[in-house]
């Protein structure tokens, strides 16, 4: 096993990560806010974003279909990945899917509201969407698939103006539109 890939049980005392909500490293945050987000949102159409969501959901489901319950529950310390907060580097596959099941419905609500020109009265809090290991590993893939289907369907059927100029503040990217959230 790679030294960075230790399970929680064997390496919990050695793992020291930043607190949830600490954000991205300074330079990485600047690049993401002022380059990656604006450029990608101009380059990628709404439909391309939609297809990306479906492809990534399928990839996750295919990957976890090969794992048993123990592997789904095993937390692994991964190296730094651009765009991933430090506190999110020591999760299990089940925790990652749980996080996405927390985030995706919130995102769909934000996207729908902004597409209708309404700015939701919410403060996006990165620390609040961390997994709590509340979903049994044996159920997580099925629940993940259902949640992602529901989110996709909601965006497909409830979105109004894809080009709406309404914006909501994201803690890393500043005020962004429905298209950028999507």
- Read off the pLDDT of residues 126-148 as tens digits, 9 standing for 90 and up: 889 999 988 999 999 999 999 99
- Residue 19 to residue 169: CA distance in whole angstroms: 21
- Joined together, the tokens standing for residue 159 give 């979105």
CB 111 within 8 A of CB 157: no
Contacts of 80 (CB under 8 A, 6+ apart): 86, 89
CATH classification code of 23-181:
1.20.120.450
Phi/psi for 168 (5° steps) reads -130, 140
Q: Where are the domains of the chain?
A: 23-181
CB 95 within 8 A of CB 139: no
- In the three-class reduction of DSSP (H, G, I as helix; E, B as strand; rest coil), residue 181 is classed as helix
Which burial class, exposed, middle or buried, applies to 97 when counting CB atoms under 10 A from its CB (0-12, 13-18, 19+)? buried
Tens of pLDDT, residues 38-61: 899 899 999 999 999 999 999 999
Tens of pLDDT, residues 1-35: 333 443 444 445 578 898 888 888 899 989 999 99
Name the strand (E) or helix (H) holding 170.
strand 168-170
Report the predicted TM-score, pTM, of the whole model to 2 decimal places.
Answer: 0.87
């Amino acid at each position: 096993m790679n030294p960075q890939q230790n399970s929680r049980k064997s390496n919990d005392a050695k793992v020291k990560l930043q607190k949830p909500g600490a954000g991205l490293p300074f330079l990485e945050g600047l690049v993401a806010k002022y380059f990656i987000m604006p450029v990608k949102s101009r380059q990628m159409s709404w439909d391309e974003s939609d297809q990306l969501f479906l492809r990534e959901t399928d990839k996750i489901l295919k990957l976890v279909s090969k794992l048993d319950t123990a592997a789904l529950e095993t937390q692994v310390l991964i190296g730094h990945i651009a765009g991933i907060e430090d506190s999110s580097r020591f999760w299990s596959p089940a925790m990652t899917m749980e996080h996405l099941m927390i985030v995706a419905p919130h995102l769909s609500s934000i996207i729908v509201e902004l597409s209708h020109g309404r700015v939701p009265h919410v403060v996006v809090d990165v620390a609040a969407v961390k997994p709590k290991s509340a979903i049994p590993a044996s159920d997580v893939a099925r629940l993940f698939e259902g949640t992602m289907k529901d989110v996709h369907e909601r965006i497909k059927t409830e979105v109004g103006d894809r080009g709406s100029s309404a914006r909501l503040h994201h803690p890393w990217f500043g005020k962004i539109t429905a298209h950028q959230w999507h």
